[in-house]
Amino acid sequence: MPLVTKNQEPQQTSYSFKTVPQTLEEMEKLLVLLVLIAGCNLQAQELSGKVVVFPKRSYTDYVTLKPEKTDGGLKAMTVCLRYISDDKYGQTLFSMATSGHHNTPLLYKYADSLTVIIIIKADAPKNHSSSFRVAEQNLPKHGLEKRQNPHFFKTVPQTLGEMEKLLVLLVLIAGCYSQGQDLHFKMFTFPKKSASDYVILKPTNAEGHLKAMTICLRFGIGDHSEQALFSMATSAHHNTPLLFKRGNRYEVYMRVTENPLLFYGLPNELNKWHSYCFTWDSVTGLVQLWVDGVGSTKQMAHKSGSVEGSPSIILGQDQDKVGGGFDESESFAGHIRGVHVWDYVISDCEIQHYTSGSGFKHGNVINWKNLNYESYGDVVIEKMSGCHPSLD
């Protein structure tokens, strides 16, 4: 297949700074944006069977919990947790604060004692010298130890240097907390052939040593032009693989220097959903395609090899270089949904289960129900209409 590189840069759907912010005002705007992004990406996690480990005493080590009820108005509460520590010094276990009160409550474990101190900020009488009420009678006379030299921003960062440090921290936080989205009953719509319309998929296993793989997706198209369905590329190889449709045949490119494998006689009706699966095993070197539950004869690709490095996975374009080199004539126009990738060859029965949507095991490299992705150009994420079966 001819590889043509256009000098057309893809247009992202999001706004971005063209250069590093040069003023404190620009940095503050970007900081606000990143805070919003970090907040949007926070999702609840199931932590059953897991622990939070604090490896050292530090003013910078802590966990922020996001309550489901955020409008306040608590007139009663119960706080439960489990903890273990061999530290002999006093330790803060749990702290709740509002704009009106610092401790609502603070749960504190005193040094060398089985006593947990509960401090609640209360409304004290005007003639009372302290606004604290301690709900524990057996307190040490010398009280709580004093914290020394806390390390934190005392005010909003006042210099560009301080803002840059906080910006880097927020970028890391946003990345750590970003989680996949469940695209069940949704689809990617590519409304036209364009070198700027595509979707990047982020694999669960970032560092690839793939010696086998299965790729399944569902697609629908309105013409028989050249169309790139799925492209995986690494720094070593552009096509690992490229799944391509041309006319009434399907093509698979496994290396940039190899001729494509051609598959004829598989379902390819227009304006209809097709369930498509590709399998490859490096031990045998065999490749097979399945369309709508119909399996092709197997063909020989390359064997005794693997896909090394972090793969770039793109829907709707052929990567002539990692993450780019797109050609409008080879781009995809239509609908794609239900993308799953496994790092092994799933069985024929599993492929049939995927085709029918009857309880198949989701991909462990790409999972449509837990998908990290970025869409570019005019790609639209649409909900499936209620009359379509739920298969993904």
pLDDT tens figures, 56-69: 888 788 998 988 76
pLDDT tens across 10-33, in order? 554 444 444 566 777 777 777 666
Give me the percent of the chain exceeding a pLDDT of 70.
69
Q: Say if pTM beats, i.e. exceeds, 0.75.
A: no
- CA 341, 342, 343, 344 dihedral sign is negative
Q: What is the mean pLDDT of the chain?
A: 79
Q: Which residue, 362, 361, 368, is CA-closest to 336?
A: 368
Cα–Cα dist 324/317, whole Å: 9
Give me the percent of the chain exceeding a pLDDT of 90.
43
Tell me what pLDDT residue 317 has: 98
Cα–Cα dist 337/391, whole Å: 10
Work out the number of other CB atoms within 10 angstroms of the CB of residue 9: 10
pLDDT tens across 294-346, in order? 999 999 987 777 887 789 999 999 999 999 999 999 999 999 999 999 999 99
Q: Which residue, 156, 134, 153, 152, is CA-closest to 143?
A: 134
Tell me what pLDDT residue 4 has: 43
Coil, helix or strand at residue 355: helix
Architecture of the domain delimited by 186-383: Sandwich (2.60)
Q: Are 106 and 94 in contact (CB under 8 A)?
A: yes
What is residue 248's DSSP assignment? Answer: T
Cα–Cα dist 32/25, whole Å: 11
Tell me what pLDDT residue 241 has: 94
- Domain extents in the chain: 186-383
Residues 6 or more apart whose CB falls under 8 angstroms from that of 336 comprise 187, 188, 190, 199, 217, 218, 219, 229, 315, 316
